[in-house]
Amino acid sequence: MRTVSALAGVVVKELYRRKDFYVLFILTALITVMMWFMNFFHDKSIAGYLKEGCLWLIWISALVIAIVTTARQIPAECENRTIFPLLAKPVTRNQVVLGKFTGCWIATGIALVIFYVFFTIVAGTRENQWPVVSYLQALWLQWMMLAIVIALALLGSIVFAAPSSNSTICFVVVIGILLLGGHLDQVALRQPEPVRSIVYAIYFLLPHLEWYDVRQFVFFEQGVVPWTACALATLYAALYAAMLLLATWIVFRRKALNL
pLDDT (tens digit, 0 to 9) for every residue of the chain, 259 residues total? 777 777 777 777 777 776 666 666 676 666 666 655 555 444 555 556 667 777 888 888 889 888 988 888 888 777 777 777 777 777 788 888 888 899 889 988 988 888 888 888 877 776 677 777 888 888 999 999 999 999 999 999 888 878 888 888 999 989 888 888 777 777 777 777 787 788 778 888 888 888 888 877 666 666 678 889 889 999 999 999 999 999 999 988 887 766 4
Model pTM score: 0.86
What value, to the nearest 5°, has the Cα angle with vertex 248 and ends 252 and 233? 170
Neighbours of 77 (CB within 10 A): 19
Neighbours of 129 (CB within 10 A): 10
pLDDT of residue 145: 93
With contact defined as beta carbons under 8 Å apart, do 132 and 113 qualify?
A: no
pLDDT of residue 40: 43
For residue 199, what are the contacts with CB-CB under 8 A and spacing of at least 6? 184, 187, 188, 191
- d(CA 92, CA 71) in angstroms, rounded, equals 20
For residue 200, what are the contacts with CB-CB under 8 A and spacing of at least 6? 184, 185, 188
pLDDT of residue 258: 61
Distances in whole angstroms, Cα of residue 229 to Cα of each of 56, 78, 161, 232: 22, 41, 38, 5
